[in-house]
Amino acid sequence: MNWTTQCAAVIPCLNEAGKIVEVVDAVRRSVPTVFVVDDGSRDGTGALATEAGAEVLRHEVPRGKGAALQAGWELARQRGFEWALTMDGDGQHSAHDATKFFEAAERRGAELVVGNRMGNPTGMPLVRRWVNRFMSKRISALAGITLPDSQCGFRLMNLESWAALSVEARHFEIESEVLLAFARQGRRVEFVPIEVIYKSEQSKIHPVRDTVRWMRWWRNARNSPGEHPTSNTPHRTSNDDIGREHSTFNI
């Protein structure tokens, strides 16, 4: 697989002028084509991303992380890319981990590869750690398989597989909906350990509004059961599995 020609990076952003150049520079070392979806930023994020070598798709007003991601994925698919490497624009994800995702897709035949911060969550704020485990446990119950880090935005996804699914989320529940959709359709999902990076950035998640949205999404998903996989339990990747084998909008 030639990842440099078959995969594009998709980065949703809202007011990340302080980090976006560093993020684009780093990921372009692995994936030359980068689509930044500027979701209504007012700090020059889009212009800086362009200068760093990204192609920018701009929303004049914020539409939500889910809407930004879906716009970026569709653009990548229209341009002929088979895969999208999704990461956040605030520096919480290390582009050096990208090779782990590529190797998992090649060696395991995964259609969706998700970063797993929960094997060693040191540095992750306690509240985010608790919320992630709470949500991951409930999504795992819906999927019928173990999904250790359901909220991580660092992912590698097959775009044709995504296009065949019904995904409608427009806000922070996008990570949950995509993961559950893949799992319920029996598509192979893998998790790879990634570095946990938390500094002084402020989460874009509104603690009340977005929690209500997620709970509404979870209730609807619970009341609309889909297909559960039978023999496609995702491999719990260890550090030894892959060569000693994270957001602008992060939980």
What pLDDT was estimated at residue 226?
59
Higher-confidence position of 6 and 236: 6
What pLDDT was estimated at residue 171?
73
pLDDT interval class at 168 (50, 70, 90): confident
User: Of the given ranges (77-81, 83-87, 91-95), which has the lowest mean pLDDT?
Assistant: 91-95
- Say what percent of the chain tops pLDDT 70: 82
What pLDDT was estimated at residue 99?
97
Q: Within a domain: residue 152? A: yes
For Cα atoms 193, 194, 199, give the angle at the middle one, nearest 5 degrees. Answer: 145
What pLDDT was estimated at residue 120?
82
Q: How far apart are CA 23 and CA 3, in angstroms?
A: 18
What pLDDT was estimated at residue 40?
96
pLDDT interval class at 180 (50, 70, 90): very high
pLDDT, average across residues 10-22: 96
CA-based radius of gyration for the chain: 17
Full-prediction pTM beyond 0.85? no
pLDDT interval class at 246 (50, 70, 90): very low
Q: Within a domain: residue 239? A: no
Q: List b or e across 197-224, with b for residues whose CB sees 16 or more CB atoms inside 10 angstroms.
A: bbeebebbbeeeebeebbeebbeebeee
Q: Within a domain: residue 228? A: no
Q: Give the residue numbers spanning the domain of 179.
A: 3-222
What pLDDT was estimated at residue 233?
38
Q: Within a domain: residue 236? A: no
Domains: count for the chain? 1
CATH number at residue 174: 3.90.550.10
Q: Within a domain: residue 132? A: yes
What separation, in Å, do the N-terminal and C-terminal C-alpha atoms of the chain show? 32
Q: Within a domain: residue 189? A: yes
Q: Within a domain: residue 87? A: yes
The answer to whether residues 247 and 92 touch, using CB atoms and an 8 Å cutoff, is yes
Q: Within a domain: residue 240? A: no
